[in-house]
Amino acid sequence: MTTLTRQDLNFGQVVADILCEFLEVAIHLILYVREVYPSGIFQKRKKYNVPVQMSCHPELNQYIQDTLHCVKPLIEKNEAEKVVVVIMDKEHHPVERFVFEISQPPLLSISSDTLLSHVEQLLRAFILKISVCDAVLNNNPPGCSFTVLVHTRDAATRNMEKVQVIKDFPWIVADEQEVHMQEPRLIPLKTMTSDIVKMQLYVEERAQKT
Amino acid sequence: ASKAQPKPNLSSASNKKVIILPCKNPPSREHVHLWLEARKQYENLQKLR
């Protein structure tokens, strides 16, 4: 077994590619399952060898892609602590938060048979958990929207500056209103530990949604 | 004698935790609904041709 640092073989980039691809699928699925958009815009596709629902609305798809393009440099440098899909009510107060808590080990113990092979299986389990999460969540009020929050460090946001300009997709620091949730109920969905990344997903749900 | 002002710790200030989000909003549900209706009408017209 070989032990490598994160810089070797540009593993940060590999991890960022894998996670951003996964987050794209996860965001589409969350929007479908939680009925943020009409179900008619979603089409069944196969990802990670399981059926998922992906939007076919060009503007929405572009928005999700632009968001993740900006997040990618942070993940690459292990500077995105949490990526959060927030569902907000008409007054823009959060009603649900899907929190993806990400951490990457500084040293990688790699053998040819474990390299990436296990990751797809683990991510599939996350997708399956998201697809059935409506069973453990209360219905959302009508007219909800969504946003994506990233927990990072101030200095790290400089890594995003270039891509923000290229994509014409600026980011700002969140207001208290966008972050605060009264008496959230915590629902753990899935945890994974692999050679290249550790991730846990939980939902924070507002006690009173209406 | 006036006391010397302590220098702010710039390194720790620039490394504080922040929560960020895109400045732009995603398309609204209403906007997407209108797009979906228009697409259905277009598909129906295509079938009639």
- pLDDT > 90 fraction of chain A, expressed in percent and rounded: 66
**What CA–CA distances, in Å, run from A57 to A48, A63, A73, B10, B36?**
22, 10, 26, 44, 8
Residues of B within 8 A of A178 (CB-CB) are 21
| Mean pLDDT over the full length of chain B | 82
How does pLDDT run across B33-45, given as a tens digit for each residue? 999 999 999 999 9
**More confident site: B8 or A102:** A102
The pLDDT value recorded for residue A42 is: 98
Residues of B within 8 A of A146 (CB-CB) are 26
Does residue B10 belong to the interface with chain A, where contact is any CB pair within 8 Å?
Answer: no
Which parts of chain A have pLDDT scores under 50? 112
Q: Counting beta carbons within 10 angstroms of the beta carbon of residue A37, is it exposed (0 to 12), middle (13 to 18) or buried (19 or more)?
A: buried
Instruction: Indicate if ipTM > 0.90.
Output: no
By C-alpha distance, which of A66, A79, A84 is closest to A150? A84
Structural domains of chain A, with CATH = 11-206 (3.30.900.10)
The pLDDT value recorded for residue A60 is: 98
The pLDDT value recorded for residue A112 is: 44
Residues of B within 8 A of A36 (CB-CB) are 29
| Mean pLDDT over the full length of chain A | 89
pTM over 0.80: yes
H or E, element range at B29: helix B29-48
